[in-house]
Structure 1
Amino acid sequence: MRALVLTAYDGRPESLRVESRPVPRPTTGQVLVRVAAAPINPADLMFMRGQYGIRKPLPVVPGLEASGTVVDSGGVAGRLLVGRRVACVAPGEGDGLWAEYAAVPLGQCLPLRSQVSDEQGASLFINPFTAWVLMERAKEGGHAALAQTAAAGTMGRMLLALAKRRGVALVNVVRRPEQVALLQDLGAEYVLSTHEPEFEERLLRVCHELKVSLAFDPVGGRLTGQLLHALPEGGTVIVYGALSEQECRIAPADLIFGRKRVEGFWLSEWHRQGFGAAQIKALMGVPSLVGQTLETPVRARLPLESAGEAVRIASADMTSGKVLFMPGQGQSP
């Protein structure tokens, strides 16, 4: 089979190359998935730079999530999935999903509904489940108004859709004026661009007027501090990404005198908590929304051989949609 192999944790597209490898054999508790589509997420780019929460011995096949068809099983339990289309998450050890075939733990596969395409199913886990869990956190905490950065990205649009669905006010922060119009067309009422004059003053004013008490930030850097400062006393910012590739800059006074907090969120850690009530509720709720309320725009579909181009496109502009690897577009030796 053909697989993309990462040879160095330097983030360079040149460190990805296509290799011919044996098709993996699923062991007990695993199934073999013929991969249909696999997205390039910000988490994948962090993994390629060696900055993600999981660092595997090199060389390794990257790719954190995908969709495909189960073609074999390593045990009796997985035989029920043979022939079924699934969304899947890469195992914590060993190779990932940027390949024609992948051996995946049975518990990290979720059957796709008939109305969900392979393209939408490829992005079923990371963004939709993160958006769901963050909004559940807001609901459980009784937060009547929220704020978010990177609001024009795929995750931002999902959070917007869930906020609208639940009738919660959401302040959306974007980087460019054209993104303001994009979100307004999607029904967003409160949209601010960081390039607007007096951005920080406007953000503070609207957050206080709406009494925003919880905010979501996948950017980091200076923006985390700006967001925290804008919240009323006692507010919390949850950082779930590092798009700026910079350290969060926070004023100590906001923590000390404003009684505000900054927390981190990683979906993998939430998943490791096991199948409690929150996990079961998400597993029941998210799949029914994928491809509809929780839709993933797709910008480009490329074969494994176009890895360099795919990574460059995905790194340049995340607002236009996901870049998908389509392993079936190439010819297996």
Structure 2
Amino acid sequence: MSALLLIEFLNIKPGQWIIQNAANGAVGESMAMLAPTRKINTINLVRSKESEQELIDLGITDNNVVTDNDDWKEQVKKIVGDAQISGAVDAVGGQPGGELVSMLGKHGVMASLGAMSGKPLMLNPSNLIFNLAQVKGFWASDMMQTISKEDMQRLTGELIENAANGTLKLPTGGVYDLNDIQKAVSDEVQSDKKGKILIKP
């Protein structure tokens, strides 16, 4: 739901581009799977080849860029070509968040939804001033309380349809019986999980 809400929050239209960091997180993976169903293009930034492999394992093979490579910005420009990037999603903060703003086209908008780096968002004022870019905070639970009932039903239906037809694939970190709840929440399981932990009654 966060991925769909972000698309609407950023007002991204068919044919436009979104760039996102931490693309191997739950929101990033969902965005990479759901945006194409609306004919929206995504650029999925990850820090390492191992993280990129997580996307590939889910069938997300297009427009993945590893930021450990020195030429990652050139790779992005090559992917986009003459088009502009209309929206960005930053879950990292710090310098990586600022770099996303620098990639936006004129009137582009970035949604800030996390600070995995633990550092304040670093922005170059020139990227805001000369591109008339915006940075907006995004909190999914707040948006879900303010959107209309009709929009919520529409988005929920879209999610269910994409899950049912196999477009939306969400990896799990394991399925545990209720009797094994202590193991499910243990550091051993939580530190190495690849998705949500599910509890089976």
- TM-score tier after normalising by the smaller chain length: 0.7 to 0.9
Deviations 1:77-121 (A, max 9, x none): xxxxxxxxxxxxxxxxxxxxxxxxxxxxxxxxxxxxxxxxxxxxx
CA distance, structure 2, for counterparts of residue 187 and residue 142 of structure 1: 19
8 Å CA contact 1:214, 1:237 repeated in 2:
yes
Q: Is 1:203 aligned with 2:76?
A: yes
CA distance, structure 2, for counterparts of residue 290 and residue 142 of structure 1: 21
Q: Tell me the CA shift for residue 268 of structure 1.
A: 1.2
CA distance, structure 2, for counterparts of residue 136 and residue 251 of structure 1: 26
Q: Is 1:296 aligned with 2:173?
A: no
The structure having more radius of gyration, on CA atoms, is: 1
Deviations 1:141-178 (A, max 9, x none): 56611211111222222111112222322111011113
Q: Tell me the CA shift for residue 308 of structure 1.
A: 5.5
CA distance, structure 1, for counterparts of residue 185 and residue 35 of structure 2: 36
Name the SS of the counterpart of 1:213 in structure 2.
strand
Indicate the residue corresponding to 2:197 in structure 1: 323
What code does the residue aligned with 2:174 have? A
What code does the residue aligned with 2:160 have? P
Gaps of 5+ in 1: 1-128, 329-333
After superposition, residues 1-333 of structure 1 pair within 5 angstroms as 129-137=1-9, 141=13, 144-184=16-56, 186-204=59-77, 206-207=79-80, 209-273=82-146, 275-290=148-163, 292-302=166-176, 303-306=180-183, 309-310=186-187, 313-314=189-190, 316=191, 320-324=194-198, 326=199, 328=201
What is the percent sequence identity of the aligned residues? Answer: 25
Q: Provide the TM-score with structure 2 as the length reference.
A: 0.80
Name the SS of the counterpart of 2:116 in structure 1.
coil
Q: Tell me the CA shift for residue 138 of structure 1.
A: 5.3
Kindly tell me: are residues 170 and 327 of structure 1, through their superposed partners in 2, closer, same or farther at Cα, counting changes over 3 Å?
A: closer
In terms of fraction of residues, the more helix-rich structure is 2
Name the SS of the counterpart of 2:18 in structure 1.
strand
Q: CA RMSD in A?
A: 2.7
8 Å CA contact 1:148, 1:173 repeated in 2:
yes
Indicate the residue corresponding to 1:34 in structure 2: none
In terms of fraction of residues, the more strand-rich structure is 1
Gaps of 5+ in 2: none
8 Å CA contact 1:207, 1:232 repeated in 2:
no
